[in-house]
Each structure stands twice: as C-alpha cells, then as structure tokens.
Structure 1
C-alpha cells in the first residue's frame, strides 16, 4: 500500500488545495507528513490527547500556554510539571520516573511518556532549551511534542522553527504543532512529523475529526505565505534584527521591564514593581495601552483566562513585524515610554 496523506474529503470537506498545503508544509519543515486543522487553538489541544491517554505520563513545562493546558486536561494523563525552563528539575523528574519503572517493569511496558514544551513561550516570550530536551528524549526514550506557533516563520535561517534555529535534525522532535494564524497570516494550524505519527491524528485528533476543513481560500492563502517564505528567506533575519532593535529601544521604559528572548518579535513589558492586586496591575497597564493607541501605536495588555494553570505577571504585549521601518520602531518606543511615564510613575 502506498504511504501518504489519506483523502478524507467525503467526510471532512477536504479538497485538493488542503492536500497540497499539507504536502508543502511537510516539505518546508523537513518532515515526512503534515496535517492541517481548521482552528489554530484546536491543533495542539487535539494532538496531545490523540496520543497520550489515561495512565500515560506527560512531563510538561509549567509555563505553557492555555491551548497546551487544555490538551493536557483532555488527555487525562498524569501530568508532571517541571519549573519553567528548568532542565535540572526536568531531569530530576525523569530520573525519579526511571527508578519507578525499574521497580515495576510490567507497568512501564504499557505506560507511554512524553515531553511537552513550547519553542517560544507565548506567555513569557523566552526560548526553550531544545537541545537539552532532545538529549533527554534520547536518553530516556521520551518523545517530544513541541508547540511552535510563535517560532514557525520566525526562527531559523529559513523560518523553519526551533530545530533549524538550534541546528538540530527535524527527526529530533517527534511532533511539531503550530498555528497558521501568526506568521502565516491565515487561519487554522498544522502538525508535522513522521507519517505514522501524523496519520494517527486523521481518525484520533478530535479537533480534526469533529470539524470541517478550513475554507479553501484560506488554504490557498497559507500556500501563498509559504511561497513568500521560500522565495524571500532574508525576511527572517530582518525580522529578528528588528525584534532585537525594538527591545533595545524599549530599554529604560519608566516602570516597565523588557522580558523574553531577544529574537522573539513578541515582547512582554512587565511592571517593574507590581502591586499585590492583579486587577489593579491590569487596569494600570490598560491606561498605558489606551494612551498608546490614541497616539497611533497598537499595544495591548496580555489577557489570560482565570482557569490558566499559572498566570504570568501582568504585561503589555508588543508585536514587531518585518514590514515596520526603523522610524516606526523608534516612534512606537517613544510613544510607549511617554505613556508609561505618564501613568506608571
């Protein structure tokens, strides 16, 4: 039997443009196969429970975004959180599990284990130490699921994401999941990996099976986005340069501190001296954001649901795109600094 994407068009509304997008995404990311979802949030939150079930174990960074958290809850697996980006703590948890497995080899044979992390953390803006995760993957035989919504189309010489950024092989990460609603400017999301891994989702991914395919027009828009990414690889270095420049310009903003990885175009500005009330901090930052918007600079307060596992500190979120000029970056930084000086100090 030939391998490759299964055409489920009669059931899900899949047509040739969807299959073309899957093939293009697999080729671009260097994976054997890709699957597209019609809703970005549902991608990672459906992929996790497609593989990890009750009695399985997931080692997960406690700083993951809400979509990942919902996937963890839907899996009903045993979740072992490690402190955000703390590889020593993760290693400790893996070693403890290894000792338990040796005491009960029969249970170990039927218990699957996974590592779940984000390449660029949406709630914090920092970069995960992927080479260390890959080391643990190989040592403890624990597959990695990596959420790449902010890193796909951003990191790496050709925008292929965290594996390219770190100089790793695509096969070092078992499954990547990313939204098409960020760098691609479309809707939906995709997962990519080995064919036997991806194909499993076509009948086990809840967000895939119980939804229609994305509108064909938006699939075509995603293909056009890939054309631009492949034809103009210089935009990725330009974007990272502008992200670094914006962080430099924002240093010294009154009452705020710049957080996250320098190459991340999504920048969090947290209060240098937060109060004891989250609502008070959010209201203060809302005043700063409204002042910026009135001055022609789009800045938002990062919003989170109360149900999130661990709420990050209150922050303003600034997003840099490759189309912004140096003058626009300087204007934006000046407006933000002026608004912060007026309302925070």
Structure 2
C-alpha cells in the first residue's frame, strides 16, 4: 500500500497529542452530558470523529442516496458506480416488485397496525411464509419484521442457561447478541474451521442439555462460505441442532441462487434451522426462520420479537414474495451476478490486491491494513465516481481494515474493470491501462 494512505508512527503520535490538547481546551462536559459521554464506547467514538476531522476525512457513513441504489446510485446529486448495496439481483426497483408493493398498499395500507397474533395478520404474510418454506422444501416458515431481531429473539428464546451454542467467530452481531441474551454457554471457533468446531463440541457437549451450531451460508465480511456437509455431519454426530444464517446467501450462492445447500448438493432438510433476511436479494425488510413445523408454531406463539412486535408491513411482504418468484423464474440473474463477482475477484488478484478468502460470489473485500488508509481510499474513490464503504476498527482489527465491494447482477464489465483499475492505481502496484483492457 502506498504511504499516502497510512500514518507513520511519528504522525500518529503527533495526531494524538493534538487531540489531547483539544480535549483539555474543551474542559469537562456539564451534568447529563458528562453522564452520556461515559456510555461504553462514547469516548472512542468521539476520538475517532476528531481524528477524522484532523486528517481531513469525511464521515463515510450515513451518506444519503437520492434514488434507487443499484449498480449505480446518486450521492450528492452526482451519479456514481455503487458497490455499497445488497441489491444483488437488481430486484429493488424492478417494476414487478414495485407493482406488487403498491397493490398491497392499495389493499392493506402502509402498516399492519398491530402484532400479527392479534390484528396484524394479512394474507400476504402467510403467502410469503409458504413460499419461503417451499424454497427450502421444509414444513413451515415464519417472517419477522427485522432481520437483526430475528436472530436476537430466536436464539435468545430457543436456548437457555443449561444449553450450549457453538458458533463461528465471524458470526453476525445479531447471532452474537441472541446467544448472549439466551444465557447459554457460548463458544466461538476459528472462522470456517469445522475441525475446531468439533473439538469445542466434543469437549463441552456432555454437560449441556441442548446444543446448537450457528454458521453463515455466505459471510458478509469476507465473502467466503463454509463446508456445509462437514457441519451437517458434525451436528448429527454430537446430537446438536444446526442453524445457518443465509442473509447473504439466498440468491447468491448455488448455481441458481438457492443457497449454500445447493452449492454443496446437500438436502435443505439436513439443516435444522434456516435463517435469512428479506432486505437483500428479496428487496424488502425483515427476517425469516424456516424448518420444522413444531418449531415454527412454537415461535409464532412465544417468540417475543414476533408476538410483541407489529407485523411486517404488507407492502414489504408483497415485495419480498414477488422477488422470490422472480429469483426462481430468472436464474440468469444469478449467473450474471456470479460472473461479475468472479471477474472482479480475478482482476483484483491479478492487480496484487489482497482479497482475503473471498469466494467471488457477490462480496469481495480489498484488505488495506489500516483504518485510516481504508477511509482515505474510500474517500478518494468516491471523488472519482465510485462508492464503496470502508470497514474500520473496531468492526475489524486495524490490520484487517478493508473496502468491501458488494457486486450486483446489474454491474457491467466496463464498470468492474474501471473500478479495479482505480483501486489498484490508488494504493500502488497498479497497472491501470492493462487492467482496463
């Protein structure tokens, strides 16, 4: 990486000294403000904001997009190539999806206006759940109003203090929060290492009432996938349930986008609990659980995040249902997505960029190795017409700070080649003219 994007040890020390002086000049905050400033992480956030300002870095987060965020988007009244959205198959904005959402609003209004258990149930909710269950070939499914809340409420409710949860160290925050809420014993194993998972299970299973293994079908930070057959065998061997979070897998992994089970040729019924979100390929908002009918019935009548939450907006349920139908009817979208991601990965590797363990299916990181460097690179690319978000410490270790590229079926060859050339040119080791041909 070129020295222009990082900070030397001397520069870091000088920056910290300047920030420390500013804090002294500000003096202590009064009353309630002082109390809020003591909230966990608040001082760190303030230090990061001040450091960014001192370095002339804009906040890369919360930038408003002024239209549909697909392969391109409008930021600051300017069209840019977009790698910051989960619109993997370009279905958010598809006229058929919009028409389905509008029809649901015409019929039911904007909100379900109540918990589904009491007065918030609408026909489209059941239709969506039946379609999700059919997708996996399992008995039933349940849709929640939030993807994050799906994992929190299901894990927190399903498992208890006498139970064991063994999970991938790279599991999503929602799974980690749900596991913590459950009170179960929690053990993380090294990312994507099924052997490490087996060692942990073998050591801890005997003392637990129930055991659950939690993995993702497509990891959002690294873009890699697990060895699903190994985890299925592991669950059976140790009398554990297996839960797979397919938030970034549905519509992305497998020849026709069915998911990680299609990729490995595993029967979907061999996974006990399928979790997914509606906000990515399915262009809605919310989450789902699919699996055994007894499990789903129990969740519908007892999961706090379902029973005590308003029902999903009918328009969002209808949009996700229509998106699922299009996914099944038009597998060529998946083929385009995977071809685009494979091209991006191949060009990035050829340019000497560090793409980690990405499988090149939709998510390709470019590891920069410095949070300051990643933020500067993201800003430089945006100025050049490319939107890609940096992932910074503490979300990842500073040495793993990166740009994370989300590919879409709607990106074209020229956009991808120009993007990789721009990234390579910005961080050194570039051969832009060669990459762009």
When the two structures are superposed, what TM-score results if normalisation uses the length of structure 1? 0.86
For structure 2, which runs of at least 5 residues remain unmatched after alignment? 1-114, 431-437
The partner residue of 2:138 within 6, 31, 41 is: 31
Match of 1:258 in 2: 355
Match of 1:230 in 2: 328
Aligned residues: 317
| Residues 163/318 of structure 1: CA separation in 2 closer, same or farther (3 Å cut) | same
* Aligned counterparts of 2:168 and 2:226: Cα–Cα separation in 1: 9
Match of 1:4 in 2: none
* Runs of 4+ that moved beyond 6 A: 308-312
* Aligned counterparts of 1:339 and 1:62: Cα–Cα separation in 2: 32
What do residues 218-271 of structure 1 show as CA deviations (whole Å, max 9, x unaligned)? Answer: 1111111012101101222221121111111112546x4112332331111112
Which protein has the larger Cα radius of gyration, Structure 1 or Structure 2?
2
| Residues 221/19 of structure 1: CA separation in 2 closer, same or farther (3 Å cut) | same
Q: Secondary structure at the match of 1:90?
A: helix
The structural deviation recorded for 1:113 is 0.7
Alignment of 1:187-198 (within 5 A): 187-198=285-296
The partner residue of 1:20 within 119, 127, 131 is: 127
Match of 2:218 in 1: 120
Alignment of 1:1-345 (within 5 A): 9=116, 11=118, 13-97=120-204, 101=206, 111-253=209-351, 256-271=353-368, 274=369, 281-302=370-391, 306=394, 313-341=400-428
- Conservation of the 8 A alpha-carbon contact between 1:59 and 1:90: yes
* Aligned counterparts of 2:126 and 2:399: Cα–Cα separation in 1: 38
Q: Secondary structure at the match of 2:354?
A: strand
* Aligned counterparts of 1:26 and 1:312: Cα–Cα separation in 2: 41
The structural deviation recorded for 1:65 is 1.6
* Aligned counterparts of 1:315 and 1:210: Cα–Cα separation in 2: 38
- Conservation of the 8 A alpha-carbon contact between 2:218 and 2:253: no
* Aligned counterparts of 2:166 and 2:339: Cα–Cα separation in 1: 34
| Residues 77/154 of structure 1: CA separation in 2 closer, same or farther (3 Å cut) | same
Higher relative contact order (CA 8 A, sep 6+): 2
The structural deviation recorded for 1:123 is 2.4
For structure 1, which runs of at least 5 residues remain unmatched after alignment? 1-7, 102-106, 275-280
- Conservation of the 8 A alpha-carbon contact between 2:163 and 2:210: yes
The structural deviation recorded for 1:203 is 2.7
* Aligned counterparts of 2:312 and 2:220: Cα–Cα separation in 1: 24
* Aligned counterparts of 2:426 and 2:279: Cα–Cα separation in 1: 29
The structural deviation recorded for 1:153 is 1.1
* Aligned counterparts of 1:18 and 1:53: Cα–Cα separation in 2: 29
Which shows bigger deviation, 233-242 or 34-43? 233-242
Q: Secondary structure at the match of 2:258?
A: coil
The structural deviation recorded for 1:341 is 3.0
Q: Secondary structure at the match of 1:36?
A: strand
Q: Secondary structure at the match of 1:59?
A: strand
When the two structures are superposed, what TM-score results if normalisation uses the length of structure 2? 0.68
* Aligned counterparts of 1:167 and 1:118: Cα–Cα separation in 2: 17
* Aligned counterparts of 2:136 and 2:387: Cα–Cα separation in 1: 32
Q: Secondary structure at the match of 2:422?
A: helix
| Residues 150/143 of structure 1: CA separation in 2 closer, same or farther (3 Å cut) | same
| Residues 258/283 of structure 1: CA separation in 2 closer, same or farther (3 Å cut) | same
The structural deviation recorded for 1:342 is 10
| Residues 68/311 of structure 1: CA separation in 2 closer, same or farther (3 Å cut) | farther
- Conservation of the 8 A alpha-carbon contact between 1:152 and 1:183: yes
The structural deviation recorded for 1:207 is 2.0
- Conservation of the 8 A alpha-carbon contact between 1:69 and 1:309: no
What do residues 7-31 of structure 1 show as CA deviations (whole Å, max 9, x unaligned)? Answer: x745261211111111111112222
Match of 1:3 in 2: none
* Aligned counterparts of 2:364 and 2:301: Cα–Cα separation in 1: 38
